[in-house]
Amino acid sequence: MDMKKAMTFKILLITVLAVSVVGCKRSSSSSVSQGTGWDINDREGGFQYNTNFKEQETAPGLVFVEGGTFTMGRVQDDVMHDWNNSPNQQHVQSFYMDETEVTNKMYLEYLDWIKRTYPPTEENFKAIYDGALPDTLVWRNRLGFNEVMTENYLRHPAYGEYPVVGVSWIQAVEYANWRTDRVNEKYLMDEGYITRGSHLTAEAGSTFNTETYINAPTQAYGGNDSITSPENNRRRVQTTASGDTIGVYAGRETGLLTPAYRLPTEAEWEYAALGLTELRNYNIYRGRKKYPWDGKYTRSGKRKVRGDQLANFKQGKGDYGGIAGWSDDNADITNQVKSYEPNDFGLYDMAGNVAEWVADVYRPIVDDEFNDFNYYRGNVYTKNAIGEDGTVKIVTVDDIVYDTLPNGKVIARDLPGEIAQVAVDEDETYLRQNFDRSDNRNFRDGDKRSSRYYRDFDEFGEEGSGVTAQTSKMYNSPKHNVEVIDSTGEMVREYDKSNKRTSLINDEVRVYKGGSWKDREYWLDPAQRRYFPQTMATDYIGFRCAMSRVGSKSKSKNKTKG
């Protein structure tokens, strides 16, 4: 009997040990696929995926803006009779936005990087640095003495925390692209994917670009694998039984790389500026708002600071700040960021200080009949250029293409290390319902299928007259031209002197939002919208960046009802 009990005990013990071994082996995997039952992240190889991802990390300088439905457009009297912001209901997805406008100090860091990486003393790179420089001459006035700002505003530390101005829409977009790469480069460096200090030794032919690293990691830093090789970094890379390495590079599936910094869309900017949380009642927004702050006045009603101005704007003719020492907004031009209270989203200066570029191409209407979700006009779809060897085509120092803008400025179309882009074609558009071409800036407004037409009395379009249907298009804006004589480099500027132009609107004018230090109170309403050529700059338009949120709409699972 004792013999049988001993045998039974041994069998039970062996069974328990076997189960334990199996359990231990399975626990080495962080999870099991619900589709196949195979282990994910198995040390022996196979499918690798970040199963511990919680939510998107808030990138430097940004605050979270939870999306929702709101009434976009005019809610006050339209004294200008522009008729370009009729109310319409839109839904905006959650996103992130810069807490403040981009400051002079932030932009100078960008200029410093360009100067170190693409020395303007080298003829091949001079246009890169010059093309990024803000236009400091925007401060000049024929009948005003503003040379102190012309000479000091951008670089003097007294203005370091003031919003950068003199930046065109194109320059703002390029800054956002640069910022994306620098932030992702730091994330990779902190996690040990690339060598520490590599950002300080970057040269023109060996810079980091996020999309290049994702699509062709071996070609990042100009193919310098001493920076990206795991042998030179702090990150331990696993090797499978067959000798393959796992986790050498950080793709999108790691969740480490952040989405791109970019300009906010007009709908995002207006939604963020309104800060509608104090008007929320259960699942809808009630009431109307005239300013980013609560109330109908520009002065504070709080007992401690009662009467103080809540924004920096022009209060009257010849009155840019009030009487010195009394009822003053403490600024005659721009002001240091965070000088006034933020709105309910924690965003500063969403009214006043400087107006701000947004991403959209301007049109007098917002076509909510076609789309009321994440509205944006300006899509130009591109794809990665593929070389003869079947891999993505990386721009080299010898491949830099420079564009001459209508105002004579010269900019680099792509920088070395970036993936060259080409327009999408029938490979992407054939029999597709949601888009059928690359450039959609004038979709349903300004193209041949939807234009309204005008006709001057002396333009009858008779056969042989040279007048075509194209002449009578709705957006008949001036067409200035700049030609560069290759042999001498001299620029020939041709001004459009036609007196038959009917509009300043075209596909190269962009929306800017918010009032500025130079604007009267009327323009502080977030619904107001104006436009300006994307190649030009002023002393009252700045910008801030935004970033899309991936994953959940909200950061909190518990919703409060009010």
**What's the confidence (pLDDT) of residue 23?**
42
Q: Are strands 284-285 and 245-246 parallel, antiparallel or unpaired?
A: unpaired
| Nearest by Cα to 154 from 174, 138, 141, 171 | 138
Angle at which helices 169-190 and 104-117 cross, to 10°: 80
pTM of this structure: 0.88
Backbone angles phi, psi at 115, to 5 degrees: -65, -40
Q: Which two tokens stand for residue 122?
A: 């080298």
Cβ–Cβ < 8 Å for 328, 321: yes
SS (H, E, C) 518-555: CCCHHHHCCCCEEEEECCCCCCCEECCCEEECCCCCCC
Cβ–Cβ < 8 Å for 289, 87: no
**What's the confidence (pLDDT) of residue 29?**
42
**What's the confidence (pLDDT) of residue 458?**
43
Radius of gyration, alpha carbons of the chain: 29
What's the count of helices (H) and strands (E) in the chain, helices before strands? 9, 21
Pick one of 3.90.1580.10, 1.10.260.40, 3.30.360.10, 3.90.1150.50 as the CATH number of 62-191+256-378+507-548.
3.90.1580.10
Cβ–Cβ < 8 Å for 344, 293: no
**What's the confidence (pLDDT) of residue 493?**
85
**What's the confidence (pLDDT) of residue 359?**
98
Q: Where are the domains of the chain?
A: 62-191+256-378+507-548, 443-506
**What's the confidence (pLDDT) of residue 5?**
61
> How far is 378 from 367, CA to CA, in rounded Å?
13
**What's the confidence (pLDDT) of residue 456?**
47
Alpha helix ranges (H) inside 167-256 = 169-190, 210-215, 225-228
**What's the confidence (pLDDT) of residue 462?**
42
The amino acid at 547: M
Cβ–Cβ < 8 Å for 237, 414: no
The amino acid at 96: Y
pLDDT by 10s per residue, the chain, length 562: 565 566 666 666 655 555 444 444 333 445 899 999 999 988 888 888 888 898 999 999 999 999 999 889 976 777 777 788 888 999 999 999 999 999 999 999 999 999 999 999 998 899 999 999 999 999 999 999 999 999 999 999 999 999 999 999 999 999 999 999 999 999 999 998 998 888 888 889 899 999 999 999 999 999 988 888 777 777 777 777 676 777 789 999 999 999 999 999 999 999 999 987 655 555 555 546 777 877 676 766 666 655 567 788 888 888 887 766 656 778 899 999 999 989 999 999 999 999 999 999 999 989 999 999 999 999 999 999 998 889 999 999 998 988 888 888 889 989 999 999 999 999 999 999 999 999 999 898 866 666 655 454 444 444 444 444 444 566 788 888 888 776 666 778 888 888 888 888 999 999 999 999 999 888 999 999 999 999 999 999 999 999 999 999 998 765 555 4
